[in-house]
Amino acid sequence: MKEYDLVVVGAGHAGCEAALAAARLGVATALVTINLSEIGKMPCNPAIGGPGKSQLVREIDALGGEMGRLTDLSMLNIRLLNTSKGKAMQVRRAQADREFYTHLWKNLLERTEGLDLIEGMVEELHTSNGAISGVTLREGLELRAEAVILATGTFLNGRVLIGELTYPAGRSGEPPSIGLTTALRAYGLAMGRLKTGTPPRVNRRSIDVSGLVRQETHPTPLSFSFWHESIALANDHPVYVTHTNEETHRIIQDNLDLTPNFNGLIQSAGPRNCPSLEAKIVKFPERSSHKVFLEPEGKETAETYLQGIYTAFPPDIQERIVRSIAGLERAQIERYGYDIEYDYIDPTQLTLSLEVKRIPGLFLAGQVNGTTGYEEAAGQGLIAGINAARRITGKDPLILTRGEAFIGVMIDDLVTKGVREPYRMLPSRAEHRISLREGNADLRLAGIGYSIGLLSRERYEQAFTRAQAIERLLNELKTRRIGPQDSLNRVLIASGTAPLSENGASLYELICRPSVRLADLLPLDRVPADVASEAEIECKYAGYLVRQEREIARLKRLEKLVIPAEIDYASLSNLSVGGRELLSRVRPRTLDQASRIPGVSHADLSILAIGLRR
């Protein structure tokens, strides 16, 4: 037997961030994983970021997490997406060296004071007086702890499916966790089944890229972490783009009875925004082609990831599908695609701190909560690690609201609405996405990271200094006015916008014009690029931002209407039967959260508000 303050189960992206955060907050932590060589593994695409996900990574970084920094150290290629949209909507996405990223995580965790790594499989949970008290490993070792975080990914009762073949696995080549699933069910937790998939990988030397579109790394330095200087990457590891075609689609249509996605072997829901190739062909029969991205897996490997060909056809059909695509006619598949089905726990059984309501001290993070994606897992892991540590040390939990962070939106969605399919963080889920940009995550959250003890004073002051520089630049733009005789008037005319009238205008007012850029009005060699970019966004989106700030202020007022944890909804006689059942199951923390529970009517909310006032 060993004693710790906290045990973290699983060393994927959720478990790594959780264990690291807790240990850094002074909590004696054990991280248990089936295979220490697979810490921080990217079992699907070797990429970090993208719409919705980039915001999560930068928020993790701003709070004191590590995903952004380790991505920067291991990335092969980085691009800016949504460049046809306004600056507030642009996000970054990087290809990472899969093996080096894993190496960085393992090395960091091994060097962290107060953190022990243990290879083993957790099979039992222990409670004392209704609260968690520890775990027992398959190998017989008992770990006692005041808190436990489950970050089990796809391992709970997992099974791999390829064609008509199925076999138990947490991931390809790794065993599933059966005992822990049994233990969780024994505690009466509501559970369900979800599925996800991965595409084939091919050897790079067997690809003909001569006729393919080449996506090169961004020409100027870009990074995810706010805390170090960005560097420009060598253009040695591009992504290539090809397409499926009518022959590809014919092969798929003729063999649908051979894939578990259509032959009845899989009944559970997969991610809607990342469907299998066969599902896309069936759902969109009018489409003659779909994009396929050929993504490098690392500097020391020839494996190439076929983004867009998520499939579970048997190997011979996968060969035919891949070789029907331009550039892949002679492709040699090194790993075949497969689907994996696994258990998850209904996240409406959690509080906003990610603690299980009926088992104090037990926290859940990542795919076990019904999410999909490395970034979603890491964000939950960071919050679970922080809150487990704060519970152990007698502090109130950290709750990020929907108006503060994409992480807050994600967790609120999970615990308030639950999931029916793997949850992916999308910008459209965030009502205040213009305010919650990837570029201002440090300005929004560094103060929180510093106040809870996870972000260093040096990094907090770095964010504070940037905020001051942005404010100074905005003040300069608002106070400096120009008239019709100013030389800048010629710039306005050249940009296709109206010249100045006799009253003139401030530079701030001019930048609000769609066709005018900050660089047109001021020399920016004296202004850091990240300061200029944020100031320009503040000008361009001023109207939207003011409205969102008002809405966020309204939400904060509603969030102050706290619902007592012990409230008896049955005593509110005028509540509808459905509303009473939903409120009792979710047990929202505030009236604001109650308003987002699907099925709770406005009438029920009014009755609840009256009850709270009484």
196 within a domain of the structure (yes/no): no
Interior CA angle at 421 toward 167 and 367, to 5°?
A: 65
- Residue-by-residue DSSP string for 333-402: EEE--EEEEEEEE-GGGB-TTSBBTTSTTEEE-SGGGTB-SHHHHHHHHHHHHHHHHHHHTT-PPP---T
Mean pLDDT, the chain, rounded, equals 94
Structure tokens at 176: 């599933």
The CATH number of whichever domain residue 327 belongs to comes to 2.40.30.260
Last residue of a domain, one of 418, 451, 484: 451
162 within a domain of the structure (yes/no): no
Structure tokens at 341: 């089905």
Tell me how crowded residue 174 is: count the other CB atoms within 10 A of its CB: 18
Do 65 and 208 lie in a common domain?
A: no
Last residue of a domain, one of 337, 363, 393: 337
The CATH number of whichever domain residue 587 belongs to comes to 1.10.150.570
pLDDT of 603 above 90: no
The one-letter amino acid code at 157 reads N
For CA atoms 50, 556, 360, 420, give the dihedral sign: negative
Last residue of a domain, one of 319, 337, 355: 337
Q: Give the count of alpha carbons within 13 A of 6, CB side only.
A: 34
Overall number of domains in the chain: 4
Structure tokens at 108: 């960091």
589 within a domain of the structure (yes/no): yes
> 59 pairs with which residues across the strands?
none
Structure tokens at 258: 């051979």
CB 415 within 8 A of CB 370: no
Do 445 and 475 lie in a common domain?
A: no
Do 226 and 319 lie in a common domain?
A: yes
Alpha carbon distance 598, 493 (integer Å): 52
Do 42 and 91 lie in a common domain?
A: yes
> pLDDT of 19-72, one tens digit each?
999 999 999 999 999 999 999 999 999 999 999 999 999 999 999 999 999 999
CB 206 within 8 A of CB 182: no
Do 544 and 591 lie in a common domain?
A: no
For residue 216, give its domain range.
Answer: 201-337
pLDDT band at 570 (very low <50, low <70, confident <90, very high): confident
185 within a domain of the structure (yes/no): no
Alpha carbon distance 508, 494 (integer Å): 19
Mean pLDDT throughout 408-415? 96
576 within a domain of the structure (yes/no): yes
Do 356 and 497 lie in a common domain?
A: no
Do 300 and 432 lie in a common domain?
A: no
Q: Return the SS3 of 90.
A: coil
Do 16 and 144 lie in a common domain?
A: yes
The CATH number of whichever domain residue 16 belongs to comes to 3.50.50.60
Alpha carbon distance 540, 518 (integer Å): 10
Do 598 and 540 lie in a common domain?
A: no
CB 295 within 8 A of CB 50: no
132 within a domain of the structure (yes/no): yes
**pLDDT value, residue 516:** 85
Do 125 and 212 lie in a common domain?
A: no
> pLDDT of 333-366, one tens digit each?
999 999 999 999 999 999 999 999 999 999 999 9
**pLDDT value, residue 515:** 82
Do 24 and 149 lie in a common domain?
A: yes
CB 404 within 8 A of CB 553: no
- CB under 8 Å to 234, separation ≥6 — which residues? 217
CB 391 within 8 A of CB 361: yes
182 within a domain of the structure (yes/no): no
- Residue-by-residue DSSP string for 218-269: PSS---S-SSS---PPPS-S-EEEEE--HHHHHHHHHTGGGSTTTSSS--SB
Do 25 and 146 lie in a common domain?
A: yes
The CATH number of whichever domain residue 490 belongs to comes to 1.10.10.1800
pLDDT of 573 above 90: no
CB 416 within 8 A of CB 593: yes
79 within a domain of the structure (yes/no): yes
> pLDDT of 268-314, one tens digit each?
999 888 899 999 999 999 999 999 999 999 999 999 999 999 999 99
The one-letter amino acid code at 211 reads G
Which is more confidently placed, 599 or 370? 370
